[in-house]
Amino acid sequence: MNIALIAHDEKKDQLVQFSTAYQTIFSKHTLFATGTTGLRISEATGLEIHRFNSGPLGGDQQIGAMIAKNEMDAIFFFRDPLTAQPHEPDVTALVRLCDVYSIPLATNMGTAELLIRGLELGLLEWRKFVGKSSDKTDGQ
């Protein structure tokens, strides 16, 4: 499965710790991340991660493009709800795309724990069959 790892600055340490704790599970999947977050996780875990731009420089939009093409299966996005983000419209668009394409999205440690356990148990296997031929059509 294709999994994206994203974290706002104040949550990067938490996502690095989470990724380290669940390194064995993540190692079985193809990982993508925004710039600095991906670098920090890769350095801490040794996991191979395809890195996009940082979020404010378009990384969120690059991941959003993968979602729109149904090429992303789950997102771990540790958001900081207490700090204003200069690229908040991009963040909102990413969350909206997850809803449009039924992509599981964990925005905090609680839902991340549930999502990672679901991955471990194979509960996201339905992603292999849903929408791969894309039931969305241009203009609709």
CA dist 32 and 68 (Å) reads 15
Task: Give the contacts of 28 (CB within 8 A, at least 6 positions apart).
Answer: none
73 as an active site residue: the answer is no
Task: Give the contacts of 72 (CB within 8 A, at least 6 positions apart).
Answer: 2, 3, 4, 32, 63, 66, 103
Instruction: Give the β-pairing of 49-51 and 74-78.
Output: unpaired
CA dist 69 and 35 (Å) reads 21
| Closest of 64, 72, 55, 58 to residue 11, by C-alpha | 55
Catalytic, out of 13, 60, 90, 99:
60
Which residue numbers are catalytic? Answer: 60
